[in-house]
Amino acid sequence: MMRTWAIANQKGGVGKTTTTLALGRALALRDKRVLLIDLDPHASLTCSFGVATDPAPEGTLELFSPEPAELATLARAGCIEGLEFVCAQAALATLERRSATQPGLGLALSRALDRVRDRYDYALLDCPPTLGLLMVNALAAADRVVIPTQAEPLAMHGLAGMYRTAQMVERSRRRPMPISVLPTMFDRRTRVGRETLLRMQELYGRQVWDLAIPVDTRLCNAEELVQPGGPGKYSGRALSAYRRALDWILADENGDSLKKAA
């Protein structure tokens, strides 16, 4: 059964796209069939795969048409075996206006994903940093929300807002949606970083990873993450940390599965 993770935060610049690419890459290298969906009109994930956005490629926008395209026809093969992706377009920013005259758009992504559940093991949704139709679609479709966040005081406000939004969607859809908070771009040399990470762990407990993704300039070029010989050529500390973070998330998923089976 395919698992869907929304990589989301209402604050920008926290590493959502890098997290989506790093986790997707790690899953694919474990022989999982992975689909990455770019939901951000800025199309950073799309650009990371080397796809030109002008003219706009076919992609996520077509899922919201009155006669939506099939997700399987929009998926493109990445350079890593088992990893596919769906492009974003700048016109995604216009969907809010369309929702007034086209009912049912809030579940468009859920319906599209339901039709490819046998094709993939994981779908990772790279969300825009705004609470709107696209993020609502992602949260409605998600089995889990992964919230990347910097360990700094201003980022705490974005984390709190995203946490409340996830809980609100969970109540409205009446089924559990686990939350995994992933501290990113952590600099252990700064006191404010260490103190903020501790505060985060105090507030949100076991939903916060007890480690953190460190600052690593070698991950600044996200495009290398989806190349077969990219960061895999070195044991970068951030990439290694993402692999450990994936282990943590998967362990929590296995725990959830055992609870449901009991």
Question: Taking the CA of residue 40 as centre, how many other CA atoms within 13 Å lie in the half-sphere pointing to its CB?
Answer: 26
| DSSP secondary structure string for all residues of 90-141 | GGGGGHHHHTTTSTTGGGHHHHHHHTTTTT-SEEEEE--SS-SHHHHHHHHH
User: Residue 84, Cβ neighbours under 10 Å: how many?
Assistant: 22
Q: In whole angstroms, how large is the CA radius of gyration of the chain?
A: 17
Q: What is the reported pLDDT for 220? A: 66
**The token pair that represents 101 in the structure block:** 């005259």
CB 183 within 8 A of CB 209: yes
Q: What is the reported pLDDT for 236? A: 73
Bridge partner list, 183: 149
Distances from the Cα of 61 to the Cα of 7, 66, 71, angstroms: 19, 11, 11
Angle, vertex CA 223, rays to CA 219 and CA 229, nearest 5: 85
Q: How many structural domains is the chain composed of?
A: 1
Classify residue 207 as exposed, middle or buried by CB count within 10 Å of its CB (0-12, 13-18, 19+): middle
CATH assignment of the domain containing 161: 3.40.50.300
User: Residue 54, Cβ neighbours under 10 Å: how many?
Assistant: 7
In order along its 262 residues, the chain shows pLDDT tens digits of 899 999 999 999 999 999 999 999 999 999 999 999 999 999 999 999 999 999 999 999 999 999 999 999 999 999 899 999 999 999 999 998 887 778 889 999 999 999 999 999 999 999 999 999 999 999 999 999 999 999 999 999 999 999 999 999 999 888 889 999 999 999 989 999 999 999 999 999 999 999 999 988 777 666 667 766 555 454 578 889 999 999 999 999 987 543 443 3
Bridge partner list, 122: 3, 34
pTM, 2 dp: 0.93
Q: What is the reported pLDDT for 257? A: 41
d(CA 163, CA 240): 26
Q: What is the reported pLDDT for 96? A: 87
Distances from the Cα of 216 to the Cα of 64, 225, 236, angstroms: 37, 13, 8
- State which residues form the domain around 94: 3-261
